[in-house]
Chain A
């Protein structure tokens, strides 16, 4: 199906342009059905639709003791105290005390809307569709006898998680707030960091049934509009009953779903999102998920952590360097071990080779089976550690690794050198900041091990070349995945293996093709520094 037709259908579905005149059944579409003047008829329609939905609350009452009205909302999603205090009470009691003359139903309606209900967000609608959606998201709908409109008052208020510390991306010196499951809270967290009207938050409702809120956030003055258009196109093309989470959207909009590499970054840190937005990236928040998506993504940005920017540049650069070396080790170490032990023992220094050979003597398995056993049990431990509750999981992880390693060595199943290699690889893998990237490295590591077991060093080279080829082909929303390495721009390399001092990072990355490349103006600060230096001399 073509994108635009899907989009039209979706829009029709949400906004209702069709003029089908039939009384809807509980399972069908309610497009274009208008409300009736009769309150009873409206309520009956709703009751048919909400059959067996026992959390829908109907509250009949009379405005100013005269006009029949009914209030409908979902229990649990609305702020009950608010409804009682600011809607029902004014409508029932204060209207009576004010002694306003209400001649007919229209009067009652405008009176209620204009003078009684004192909430900020309120609107009127005549579409059944709209009404249903309003109820489902936790707003209160007020029907009044004899009016073919109804009032929708925003009263959303439900129990939600407080803003907690980020669990998957902790920092030493950064802020300690993380996104929550509520979209509004999340947008608030970003707005608090960028107080600029150019920060645009575009809302989507995706999912035929789930009608999940999805917000696309970007800086209008920075973003590359080609990327934005492409993203909108891809989001509009999504036509599914249910949005399973941000991973679902990630999968549907990424460039190459066969690739082991994550082409969309996820984070739970609002500070990271704010910084990325300022670099021209686009953020996608999906309701009910504390992890937001960032596009376009490069391999380099997956290797960065917020702490790199909260520390002094020398420290940050050293940490970055360690991280890069660690990621190479995580990728290559076990396969190199296999290749060296099984194919090229001449590469190991003689005395080490002798002791490794001694350590392996009497072992039943070849090096690569040995490596698979150890790597496999490590993966198993990791998985088991996730399942086990809280602190116990970590304990089991550490203790399990030590005990299994030790036991395997003394049982003559693996050699001591293998345990060292596996442990070092595991540690290196944890040094990769992005969880998604770390997992893709784990997959590639196994492929590399297999190829090393088959063709030795040549096998490793082949697979490495395949990975390099793949990385060269891969793009994320039109931006080469390996940017800024390729296309190479020396200016952009300031934020890669090292993190240059802020003073040198005056411009945004050129490969993003942002509208505004200047990040900071250092003229003044340089002037000040010059003056200070002159004074010192």
Chain B
């Protein structure tokens, strides 16, 4: 009798189950999303009286692959045929008051269930980043159990939608292209790689941060270079490629990249230094309530290219090392200066360094940190070492 009961219950479970079942082919995989400010206010429904309310402020663009064409192109004739011209992904875009609302609007236009579990990138338009607190913008992705905290978040220079709609030459979808391209961080330090976790972490702390910048070049190529300066959750401005590299030196995030300096023997041509290793140490000193920070950077690398035809002897290598160090010091100083004076944003984490390593003193200056930061003296010392010179002597 008991067993019969158990069997009945099990059967009930099986027969009535499957609440969450959505077959994989009935889902639309969102590979990338682009959040923008809606182009114009188009009708607001009875909420106008709320102050500061902006009807349909957001525009969300989602890129979803069309499975068949994506896979057949993969195994096909290398995309050389006619089908290669069609992007095997569907871009959908709509406006709404919240991102979740926009996502659900999608149900009126598609037979698929949107699925964010494989989302790779999230692009945020420049205008949106300037106007809205990014922490609130990102809330949908932080809250959604489907999406991971490893989603790459980048700020678009311009409209994020345009970038997601672009058709990269070597990849099937813009999102996959961007996600794979970000893996190039080991080759160059021209951009910064931030994911959702970094955003939640930094913005949740109330601190400023740098994030990757993405744009479309004149040749309609997607280009990830430089970085955006975010303070109080909003985009303040950009750092260029070299400035981004300098900033990453300070943060100790360099995994690779190159430095081109004037050749010490022949100032007319250049010598290229390839870094592969970097170590940064911050040191802080206090004079009363005035902190000063000393940055010590040690980097190792190769001689990658010499245009002067010089042979690599000891003196030359030493001169090169000196040249690289000086060049980097100059760059880093200029960047820090720009961040301190122009943006007034502590994106390099000096504040959090003080908080963590000099907690007692930090408590005294925490309140007026913004003022102190602007005028805080920062010294930079770079020590570049050349370890290999390549195959040519």
A and B are interacting partners: yes
Contact with A along B6-32 (1 / 0, CB 8 A): 000000011001101111110101010
Residues on the A chain within 8 Å of B20, using CB: 343, 456
B267 within 8 A of A: no
Q: A450-B14, A454-B13 are in contact. Are A360 and B146 (CB under 8 A)?
A: no
Q: Which residues of chain B are within 8 angstroms of A344 by Cβ–Cβ distance?
A: 117
Asked whether B29 lies within 8 Å of A357 as measured between CB atoms, the reply is yes
Chain B hits for A456, CB < 8 A: 20-21
| Minimal beta-carbon separation of B232 from chain A (angstroms) | 33
**Does A345 reach chain B (CB closer than 8 Å)?**
yes
Distance in angstroms between the alpha carbons of A342 and B18 in the assembled complex: 9
Q: Is the CB of A355 within 8 A of B118?
A: no
11 interchain pairs (CB within 8 A)?
A343-B20, A346-B115, A350-B31, A350-B118, A355-B71, A355-B74, A357-B27, A360-B25, A363-B25, A454-B18, A455-B13
Knowing A357-B29, A357-B67, say if A350 contacts B13 (CB, 8 Å).
no
Q: Name the interface residues of B46-71: CB closer than 8 Å to any CB of A.
A: 65, 67-68, 70-71
Q: How far is the CA of A354 from the CA of B117 in the complex (A)?
A: 12
B24-A367 in contact (CB<8A):
yes
- A354-B67, A450-B14 given as contacts; is B21 within 8 A of A366 (CB)? yes
Q: How far is the CA of A366 from the CA of B24 in the complex (A)?
A: 9
Evaluate contact between A353 and B24: CB separation under 8 angstroms: yes
A354 touches B13 (CB 8 A): no
Find out whether the CB atom of A357 lies under 8 angstroms from the CB atom of B17.
no
Chain A residues whose CB sits within 8 angstroms of the CB of B152 once the complex forms = none
Whether the Cβ atoms of A345 and B21 lie closer than 8 Å is no
Chain A residues within 8 Å of B14, by CB: 450-451, 453-454
Residues B23 and A354 in contact, CB atoms below 8 Å apart: no
B117 touches A361 (CB 8 A): no
How close is A378's CB to chain B, nearest CB, in angstroms? 22
A-side contacts of B176, CB under 8 Å: 350
Given A357-B25, A453-B17, 17 more pairs with CB closer than 8 A: A341-B24, A342-B18, A345-B27, A346-B115, A346-B146, A346-B148, A355-B67, A356-B24, A357-B24, A357-B67, A358-B70, A360-B23, A363-B25, A453-B14, A454-B14, A454-B17, A454-B18
Tell me if B68 and A358 are in contact (CB < 8 A). yes
Residue of A at shortest CB range from B65?
A: A354
CB distance from B3 to the nearest CB of A (A): 9
Instruction: Tell me whether A346 and B13 are in contact (CB under 8 A).
Output: no
- Of the candidates A354, A359, A455, the one whose C-beta lies within 8 Å of that of B29 is A354
A418 vs chain B, min Cβ distance (A): 12
CB distance from B298 to the nearest CB of A (A): 37
* Total CB contacts across the A-B interface at under 8 A: 77
B115 partner residues in chain A, CB cutoff 8 A? 345-346
Residues of B within 8 Å of A453, CB to CB, are 14, 17-18, 21
Q: Indicate the member of B23, B24, B25, B71 with the most A CB atoms within 10 Å.
A: B24
Q: Give B141 Cβ to nearest chain A Cβ, in Å.
A: 14
Closest chain B residue, CB of each to CB of A344:
B117
B234 within 8 A of A: no
Tell me the complex Cα distance, A357–B146, Å. 18
B interface with A by C-beta (< 8 Å): 13-14, 17-18, 20-25, 27, 29, 31, 65, 67-68, 70-72, 74, 115, 117-118, 120, 146, 148, 176
Give the complex CA separation of A343 and B72 in angstroms: 25
Q: Which of A344-383 contact B (CB under 8 A)?
A: 344-346, 350, 353-363, 366-367
What's the least CB distance linking A348 to chain B, in Å?
Answer: 8
Q: Cα distance A451–B74 when bound, in Å?
A: 35
**Cα distance A361–B71 in the bound complex, in angstroms:** 11
> Considering the complex of A and B, which 5 residue pairs feature the smallest CB-CB distances, nearest first?
A346-B117, A454-B17, A358-B67, A358-B71, A360-B25
Q: Which of B17, B22, B72 is in CB contact (< 8 Å) with A455?
A: B17
Once the chains are docked, how many angstroms separate the CA of A2 from the CA of B146? 62
Chain A residues within 8 Å of B, Cβ to Cβ: 341-346, 350, 353-363, 366-367, 450-451, 453-456
Q: Are A345 and B24 in contact (CB under 8 A)?
A: yes
Known: A346-B146, A450-B14, A454-B13. A354 touches B70 (CB 8 A): yes
> Which of B13, B31, B120 counts the most chain A CB atoms within 10 A?
B13
Contacts of B65 in A (CB 8 A): 354
Q: How far is the CA of A506 from the CA of B210 in the complex (A)?
A: 64
Question: Which residues of A have CB within 8 Å of B17?
Answer: 453-455
Contact among A342, A350, A451 for B24, CB-based, below 8 A: A342
Selected from A342, A358, A451, the residue in CB contact (under 8 A) with B23 is: A342
The residue in chain A whose Cβ has the minimal distance to the Cβ of B74 is: A355
Q: Which residues of B contact A341 (CB under 8 A)?
A: 23-24
- A366 lies within 8 A of B23 (CB): yes
Taking a contact as CB atoms under 8 Å apart, the answer to whether B120 and A350 are in contact is yes
Chain A nearest CB from B6 CB (Å) reads 11
Q: Which residues of B contact A355 (CB under 8 A)?
A: 67, 71, 74
A362 to B66, CA, bound (A): 13
Closest to A345 in B: B24
Given contacts A345-B117, A358-B70, A454-B17, contact A353 B23 (CB under 8 A): no
Q: A350-B118, A454-B14 known; A367 and B23 CB under 8 Å? A: yes
In the complex, what distance in Å separates the CA atom of A58 from the CA atom of B250? 111
> What CA separation (Å) do A350 and B173 show in the bound complex?
13
Task: Kindly list chain B residues whose C-beta atoms are within 8 Å of the C-beta of A345.
Answer: 24, 27, 29, 115, 117-118
Question: In the assembled complex, which residues on chain A have CB atoms less than 8 Å from the CB atom of B22?
Answer: 342-343
- In the complex formed, the residue of A with least CB distance to B17 is A454
- Residue of B whose beta carbon sits closest to that of A350: B118
- What CA separation (Å) do A361 and B14 show in the bound complex? 25
Contact A361 B29 (CB under 8 A): no
With the chains together, A212 CA to B10 CA distance in Å? 42
The smallest C-beta distance from A374 to any residue of chain B, in angstroms, reads 16
Contacts of B67 in A (CB 8 A): 354-355, 357-358, 361
Smallest Cβ-Cβ distance to A455: which chain B residue: B17
- Residue picked from A346, A451, A455, A456, most chain B C-beta under 10 Å: A346
Shortest Cβ distance from residue B111 to the other chain A in the assembled complex, whole angstroms: 12
A114 to chain B, nearest CB (A): 65
Q: How far is the CB of B13 from chain A (nearest CB, A)?
A: 6
Per a CB cutoff under 8 Å, which of A343, A350, A358, A362 touches B21? A343
Q: How far is the CA of A367 from the CA of B23 in the complex (A)?
A: 7
Most buried by A among B14, B21, B72, B148: B21
Look across to chain B and name the residue whose beta carbon is closest to the beta carbon of A370: B23
Residues of chain A contacted by B21 (CB below 8 angstroms): 342-343, 366, 453, 456
Taken together as a complex, chains A and B put the C-alpha atoms of A356 and B71 apart, in Å, by: 9
Taking the nearest CB of chain B, how far is it from the CB of A208, in angstroms? Answer: 32
Q: Which residues of B contact A366 (CB under 8 A)?
A: 21, 23
Residues of B within 8 A of A342 (CB): 18, 21-24
Residues of B within 8 A of A363 (CB): 25
The residues of A that contact B13 with a CB separation of less than 8 Å are 454-455
Instruction: Tell me the complex Cα distance, A455–B70, Å.
Output: 30
> Given the known A-B contacts A355-B74, A356-B24, A454-B18, are A361 and B68 also in contact in the complex, defined by CB atoms under 8 Å?
yes
The distance in angstroms between the C-alpha atoms of A350 and B120, with both chains bound, is 9
Cα A18 to Cα B297 in complex, Å, equals: 105
Determine which residue in B23, B27, B65, B71 has the highest number of CB atoms from chain A within 10 A of its CB, and name it.
Answer: B23
CB closest residue in chain A, given B21: A342
In the bound complex, how far is the Cα of B25 from the Cα of A367, in angstroms? 10
